[in-house]
């Protein structure tokens, strides 16, 4: 009998597989055009990136009633805004094959000089453990998922982010930490605003110590302007004694250790600031805190910094995961993502995003932070680094770094150099003026001749910072540079003695334990670490499993070919403040990417500095405000924003110092032009800007976009076109033609940078010619425009290393491939709309019945008929192995679906089949075949823990088969959620944001 059952099961499985394959026998390469000649490359990229082949495209066009792609596009994109075909084509952006791209990347990488950098200033040459490099950073299971809004299929990276939060809380001795910020400078700016808001926005003076990094100070100046905060820089101990400042102080920013390496005791300062009602914000270094008394023990209220030292490459500035930790009383004011523990319907522990009511998508213009993207992938790398090394390993690394610094200081002092700081961890500042070398310029020249970079301070002083990557040979080579300058004998390793004491005074040395949780004390062999990484990855649904049809998120292919150069040393091991002549390869890539983005958008100039889409919004609006001020029109501070806009729009406007006025939207989804005109004219003397997303957040090309922009221009304002949906535009229209003056783009959407499970992102801005002089500057840039706004991120080119991905993506697709991608994105969405429309209410479409690159389905009818919410449909989709579309946005009762161009017809149909089957399941509830409170949708998802309940515990009016395998192909390909539905309310009421204790784990 067992043999018969086995044979039956095999026959059944075979029939399932055959039925699944039967509609498709040959696809893809069989229908593409043959190469133009024998000598043409075969590894061209467009057919690898674009999912549907020619036959599938024809089938979808036919299903929609069109004979050609041109006819379809003509019915979808308004004719008035179309651009000439030659605006983006293979002449303007020539296509290269994958192998040609790698050859070019090698060539440009070779133009970056890999000097040994001791520049410091918050950036280090991290050593990335190979097990983390290969299995996290280079692993699509980690870099292709989206932000974990669907926690039941994201428990792996949520656990890793809890590890990150626990790591930060433990090392800083703070009560709570978030799941990362964009960079240290913007984290410090968020801390400044938190201090301002905590003082009820009445105290407007913020003190910044002179030991704070210059890039942080530049970002603070930019951010302070929008809030009217007065930033005062100097010796904070002295500034606190200034009676003219004391009454207005909302907070203080200090650095520990400071940028020059000095370590100060800030205990008394904290008490004084608190007595004045202010907050103490401390920028610090996680590795240093293994040896230093943590800020939480001497009174800091907010602690920020860069975690990249924990195993994340320098990457010419990023991306890196900053951290942000606060005392318990500030937790509900803390910006950014926060991971907390809750429980599922079975009472089992589960992780989720907590306290989302703090965030911009809820608070909109009342928000004081617009942060939307964090740096999840980099935070996970840093957390894994701490897991791999543990407290003992981290202390060994810290001891080596500290002692190397001591050996260096002792040696150069013996040569006649003077150290400006006697108390330090890894950085010393040297006065070189009293030596034979004469001045700092000569030391730098000698160092560069030896392939070494030091920190430029002034004519007499230089800075030297050590990190984990410095070898004994590196140390000797560095000392030889100084010996040569001092005209003394060079040294050998045998001349150097290990220090017997610490350069950190006993009163500032750490005595408390850290990283005591088991997760940081058991995965120290590579075998165990490898298994832990893959165990967590197995819990998360990413693009390696299925399409992720999130509307407004553009979850397209993150191609391996575009990712490969990212981890080459020529791109990953470059400090962001090296001299420009050492990064000719990077500069070429940046210039080419800027030029291509300008060509695509129709604008004149670009900045790659903003390191998220929301940061791009903020930068663009700040540029507009600076433009008005340069014309003597600083009173222009009204920003018109449609009610349908993404929450970051009003939050960004408020941060830039603008007053938000909402504009109505018609019931058909189109902007109310009459309301826009009325409000533009009412505020014409104060009108600064109008923010509009195009295509709209409702998923349609609005025909009146040019008319709307004209209204704004006629009343003295500028138009900010949100480029979140640029994937629908390339080569068909562009923001400039639509009437915009500035736009941001999400390189992590349209241009294929991975979402990383919640970051990184890049949000460059492109501007019209009259706004180009106002683009962001940076202290590390050799030239600063007279009209430029200050920096908006810590590094001059933001998250520079991942810009290489978008550069590669554009070059491999070429102009025609980019245009074809946009066309297929439109086609895929419209095909899905046509399949789903008979079963669901399609909310918006144009006069031709067409949507843009995404579609909005309304589920309100199911709530009325059966008590089913959007969440119920979303959780049931998880049982079918899909990540749900964007839920309850831009309308609370809707799902926003965006397939992108990367998905094949087979995958589109698979998703549509799932949605249609769920519609049938909902009908059973409407007709009474299933109860309203105990059914497939209300009980979804169904993890293994539910499916293995005993017969007596299975109290559901449907079978296990129906719950787990509602469609045949799930027998072959099934992704299991790891927990049942999570209780959000319980998680917010019982906020716990660190790793469970040993007792909790064993209970």
Query: CA-to-CA distance for 735 and 155, rounded, in angstroms?
Result: 39
Cis check for the bond before 463: say yes or no (omega within 30 of 0).
Answer: no
How far CA 798 is from CA of 61, 137, 655, 824, in Å, comes to 41, 19, 19, 31
List the alpha helices (DSSP H) in 39-198. Answer: 46-49, 54-64, 69-76, 98-109, 130-132, 140-143, 155-172, 184-198
Q: How many CA atoms lie within 13 A of 197 on its CB side?
A: 16
3-state secondary structure of 319: coil
Q: Strand order of the sheet with strand 718-723? A: 605-607, 765-767, 742-745, 718-723, 687-693, 638-642, 659-663
Cis check for the bond before 75: say yes or no (omega within 30 of 0).
Answer: no
Q: What is the set of domains in the chain, with CATH numbers?
A: 569-813 (3.40.640.10), 827-989 (3.90.1150.10)
In 3D space, the residue among 491, 312, 309, 322 whose CA is nearest the CA of residue 401 turns out to be 309
Is 931 in contact with 957 (CB distance < 8 Å)?
Answer: yes
The pair of three-digit structure tokens given for residue 460, joined into one six-digit string: 């007499």
3-state secondary structure of 56: helix
Query: CA-to-CA distance for 481 and 484, rounded, in angstroms?
Result: 5
How far CA 332 is from CA of 46, 355, 973, in Å, comes to 47, 7, 41
Which contacts of 430-438 are long-range, i.e. CB under 8 A and separated by 24 or more positions? Answer: 430/461, 430/462, 430/463, 430/464, 431/460, 431/461, 432/460, 432/461, 432/462, 432/485, 433/459, 433/460, 435/485, 435/486, 436/485, 436/486, 436/487, 437/485, 437/486
Query: CA-to-CA distance for 946 and 948, rounded, in angstroms?
Result: 5
Name the percent of the chain in helix, strand, coil, to the closest 5. 45, 10, 45
φ, ψ of residue 615 in degrees (nearest 5): -65, -35
Supply the pLDDT for residue 32. 66
Which contacts of 658-666 are long-range, i.e. CB under 8 A and separated by 24 or more positions? Answer: 658/226, 658/621, 658/625, 658/688, 658/689, 659/686, 660/364, 660/365, 663/690, 665/698
Q: Strand order of the sheet with strand 427-431? A: 418-419, 427-431, 461-465, 455-456
Is 232 in contact with 241 (CB distance < 8 Å)?
Answer: no
Supply the DSSP symbol for 781: S
Q: How many CA atoms lie within 13 A of 866 on its CB side?
A: 28
- Strand partners of residue 895: 857, 887
Supply the pLDDT for residue 28. 55
List the alpha helices (DSSP H) in 297-456. Answer: 360-363, 376-414, 440-449
CA 816 to chain centre: 28
Widest CA span in the chain: 94
Residues near 607 by beta carbon (within 8 Å), at least 6 away in sequence:
594, 619, 764, 765, 775, 776
How far CA 280 is from CA of 36, 217, 265, 275, 793, in Å, comes to 66, 16, 13, 11, 22
3-state secondary structure of 367: coil
Using a 10 angstrom Cβ sphere, with 0-12 exposed, 13-18 middle and 19 or more buried, the burial of residue 511 is exposed
Query: CA-to-CA distance for 559 and 99, rounded, in angstroms?
Result: 13
Supply the DSSP symbol for 773: G
Residues near 328 by beta carbon (within 8 Å), at least 6 away in sequence:
175, 176
Query: CA-to-CA distance for 131 and 134, rounded, in angstroms?
Result: 6
φ, ψ of residue 583 in degrees (nearest 5): -130, 45
- CA angle (14, 19, 21) in 5-degree steps: 95
Residues near 141 by beta carbon (within 8 Å), at least 6 away in sequence:
537, 540, 542, 544
| Model pTM score | 0.95
In the chain, which residues have pLDDT < 50? 1-25, 30, 358-362, 998, 1001-1002
3-state secondary structure of 930: coil
Is 185 in contact with 791 (CB distance < 8 Å)?
Answer: yes
The pair of three-digit structure tokens given for residue 877, joined into one six-digit string: 């989709």
List the alpha helices (DSSP H) in 686-768. Answer: 705-714, 735-738
The pair of three-digit structure tokens given for residue 796, joined into one six-digit string: 């001059």
Torsion-angle region of 466 (φ positive above 0: left; ψ -120 to 50: alpha; else: beta): beta
Cα distance between the two ends of the chain: 42
């Amino acid at each position: 009998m067992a043999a018969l059952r086995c044979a039956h099961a095999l026959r059944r499985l075979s029939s399932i597989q055959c039925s699944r394959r039967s509609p498709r026998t040959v696809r893809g390469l069989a229908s593409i055009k043959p190469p133009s000649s024998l000598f043409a490359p075969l590894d061209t990229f467009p057919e690898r990136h674009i999912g549907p082949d020619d036959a599938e495209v024809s089938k979808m066009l036919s299903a929609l009633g069109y004979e050609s792609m041109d006819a379809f596009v003509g019915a979808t994109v308004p004719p008035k805004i179309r651009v000439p075909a030659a605006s983006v084509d293979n002449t303007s952006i020539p296509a290269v094959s994958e192998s040609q791209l790698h050859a070019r990347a090698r060539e440009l990488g070779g133009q970056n000089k890999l000097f040994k950098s001791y520049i410091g200033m918050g950036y280090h040459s991290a050593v990335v453990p190979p097990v983390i490099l290969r299995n996290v950073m280079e692993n699509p299971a980690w870099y292709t998922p989206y932000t974990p809004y669907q926690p039941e299929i994201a428990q792996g990276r949520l656990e890793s982010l809890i590890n990150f939060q626990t790591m930060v809380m433990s090392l800083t001795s703070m009560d709570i930490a978030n799941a990362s910020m964009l960079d240290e400078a913007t984290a410090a700016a968020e801390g400044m605003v938190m201090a301002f808001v905590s003082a009820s926005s009445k105290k407007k003076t913020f003190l910044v110590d002179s030991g704070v990094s210059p890039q942080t100070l530049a970002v603070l100046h930019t951010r302070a302007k929008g809030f009217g905060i007065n930033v005062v820089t100097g010796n904070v101990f002295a500034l606190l004694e200034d009676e003219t400042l004391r009454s207005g102080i909302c907070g203080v920013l200090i650095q520990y250790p400071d940028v020059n390496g000095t370590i100060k005791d800030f205990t008394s300062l904290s008490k004084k600031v608190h007595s004045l009602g202010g907050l103490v914000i401390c920028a610090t270094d996680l590795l240093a805190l293994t040896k230093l008394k943590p800020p939480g023990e001497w009174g800091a209220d907010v602690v920020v910094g860069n975690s990249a030292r924990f195993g994340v490459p320098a990457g010419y500035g990023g991306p890196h995961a900053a951290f942000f930790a606060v005392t318990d009383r500030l937790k509900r004011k803390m910006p950014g993502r926060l991971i907390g523990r809750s429980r599922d319907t079975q009472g089992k522990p589960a992780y989720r995003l907590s306290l989302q009511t703090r965030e911009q998508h809820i608070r909109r213009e009342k928000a004081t932070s617009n942060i939307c993207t964090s740096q999840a992938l980099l935070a996970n790398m840093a957390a894994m680094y701490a897991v791999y090394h543990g407290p003992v390993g981290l202390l060994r690394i810290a001891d080596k770094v500290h002692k190397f610094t001591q050996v260096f200081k002792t040696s150069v002092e013996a040569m006649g150099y003077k150290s400006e700081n006697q108390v330090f961890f890894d950085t010393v500042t040297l006065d070189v003026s009293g030596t034979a070398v004469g001045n700092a310029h000569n030391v730098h020249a000698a160092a560069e001749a030896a392939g070494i970079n030091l920190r430029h301070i002034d004519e007499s002083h230089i800075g030297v910072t050590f990190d984990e990557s410095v070898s004994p040979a590196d140390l000797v080579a560095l000392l030889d540079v100084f010996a040569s300058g001092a005209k003394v004998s060079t040294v050998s390793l045998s001349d150097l003695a290990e220090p017997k004491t610490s350069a950190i005074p006993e009163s500032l040395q750490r005595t408390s334990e850290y990283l005591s949780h088991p997760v940081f004390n058991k995965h120290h062999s590579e075998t165990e670490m490898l298994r832990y990484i893959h165990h967590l990855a197995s819990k998360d649904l990413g693009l390696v499993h299925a399409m992720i049809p999130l509307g407004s998120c553009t979850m397209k292919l993150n191609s391996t070919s575009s990712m490969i150069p990212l981890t080459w040393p020529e791109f990953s091991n470059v400090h962001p403040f090296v001299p420009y002549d050492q990064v000719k390869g990077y500069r070429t890539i940046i210039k080419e990417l800027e030029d291509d983005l300008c060509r695509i958008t129709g604008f004149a100039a670009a900045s790659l500095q903003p390191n998220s889409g929301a940061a791009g919004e903020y930068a663009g609006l700040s540029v507009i405000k600076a433009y008005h001020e340069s014309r003597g029109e600083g009173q222009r501070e009204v920003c018109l924003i449609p009610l349908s806009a993404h929450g970051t729009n009003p939050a960004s406007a408020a941060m830039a110092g603008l007053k938000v006025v909402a504009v109505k939207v018609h019931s058909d989804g189109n902007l109310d032009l009459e309301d826009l005109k009325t409000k533009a004219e009412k505020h014409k003397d104060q009108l600064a800007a109008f923010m509009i997303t195009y295509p709209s957040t409702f998923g349609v090309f609005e025909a009146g976009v040019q008319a709307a922009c004209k209204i704004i221009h006629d009343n003295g304002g500028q138009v900010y076109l949100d480029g979140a949906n640029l994937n629908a535009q390339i080569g068909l229209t562009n923001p400039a033609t639509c009437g915009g003056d500035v736009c941001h783009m999400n390189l992590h959407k349209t241009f294929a940078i991975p979402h990383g499970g919640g970051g990184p992102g890049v949000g460059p801005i492109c501007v019209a010619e009259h706004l180009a002089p106002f683009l962001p500057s940076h202290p590390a840039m050799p030239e600063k425009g007279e009209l430029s706004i200050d920096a908006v991120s810590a590094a001059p080119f933001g998250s520079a290393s991942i810009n290489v991905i978008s550069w590669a993506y554009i070059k491999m697709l070429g102009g025609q491939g980019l245009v074809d991608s946009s066309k297929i994105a439109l086609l895929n969405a419209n095909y899905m709309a046509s399949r789903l429309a008979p079963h669901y209410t399609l909310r918006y479409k144009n006069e031709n019945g067409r949507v843009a690159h995404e579609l909005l389905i309304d589920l309100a009818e199911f709530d009325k008929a059966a008590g089913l919410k959007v969440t119920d449909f979303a959780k049931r989709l998880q049982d079918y192995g899909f990540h749900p579309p964007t839920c309850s946005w831009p309308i609370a009762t809707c799902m926003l679906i965006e397939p992108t161009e990367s998905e094949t017809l087979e995958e589109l149909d698979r998703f549509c089949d799932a949605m249609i089957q769920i519609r049938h399941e909902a009908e059973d509830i409407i007709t009474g075949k299933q109860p309203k409170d105990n059914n497939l949708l209300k009980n979804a998802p169904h993890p293994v823990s539910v499916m293995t309940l005993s017969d007596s515990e299975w109290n559901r009016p449907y079978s296990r088969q129906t719950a787990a395998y509602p469609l045949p192909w799930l027998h072959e390909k099934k992704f299991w959620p790891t927990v049942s539905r999570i209780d959000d309310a319980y998680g917010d009421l019982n906020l716990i944001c660190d790793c469970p204790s040993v007792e909790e784990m064993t209970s």
